[in-house]
Amino acid sequence: MNEPYKILVSGGTAETELKKSRFIAHVFPVNTEEEAAGAVSSMKKKYYDARHNCYAYILGKDADRVKFSDDGEPSQTAGLPIYNVLKESGIRNACVVVTRYFGGTLLGAGPLARMYAEATKLGLEASETAMMRYGIEFGIKTDYSDGERIRRYLEGDNIEVVNITYSDKMEFLAKTGFEAFEKIREDIVSLSSSRAEIFKEKEAYFIDRN
């Protein structure tokens, strides 16, 4: 039910070539269909003189929102190969746009599909990924005298810091794994000599960068 899944931390770019046709892949982390459409639109504007800007995206931890486009290439030679590589990678919330500059030689359906797949694979290899795992969202409330020390501790471990609020006190909202929470609680108590308050908020997915 709450299985881990892979996401992009940052997208990458890559380029490959066959018979002077260039295939340029751009990979984007996206969370909505609107963001994916924006990524595609930005590539069409950037590469306005290219013959094709083909793409695929997969959204949701269950990969339940997908779309791909050949953008004028022969049917199933561009969008589908991009989608298949993205699907096989297991990465969610990602959009891949592969721009093709025609080199003057028709490649044929098989080579064309392989080049779109290869560009996608290279783009994904150039990207940074992380796992989303189910764990605990927690809060910390502390005086400023301990706040910076606690901030450095949270940012130096495998903890996702969601937000820091500065008011009469420093308040942190963060996420981590179930098994890590008790040690973090003990460390925060120690770092603040028991002055900081730490409390569970709810169960939630967090970014595991290990």
> What is the model's pLDDT at position 156?
77
**Signed CA dihedral, 188, 194, 196, 197: sign only:** positive
pLDDT tens-digit map of 77-102: 999 999 999 999 999 999 999 999 99
50 — phi, psi (to 5°)? Answer: -85, 155
CB-based contacts of 2: which residues, under 8 Å, 6+ apart? 134, 203, 205
The per-residue pLDDT for 106 is 84
Instruction: Tell me if the pTM is above 0.75.
Output: yes
Q: What is the pLDDT, as a whole number, of residue 57?
A: 98
Supply the pLDDT for residue 201.
86
Residue ranges in the chain whose pLDDT is less than 70: none
User: Quick one: pLDDT at residue 155?
Assistant: 87
Q: Judge contact between 3 and 132, C-beta under 8 A.
A: no
How far apart are the C-alpha atoms of 120 and 16, rounded to whole Å?
A: 10
The DSSP letter of residue 168 is: S
**Domains of the chain, CATH where assigned:** 5-126 (3.30.230.30), 133-208 (3.30.70.240)
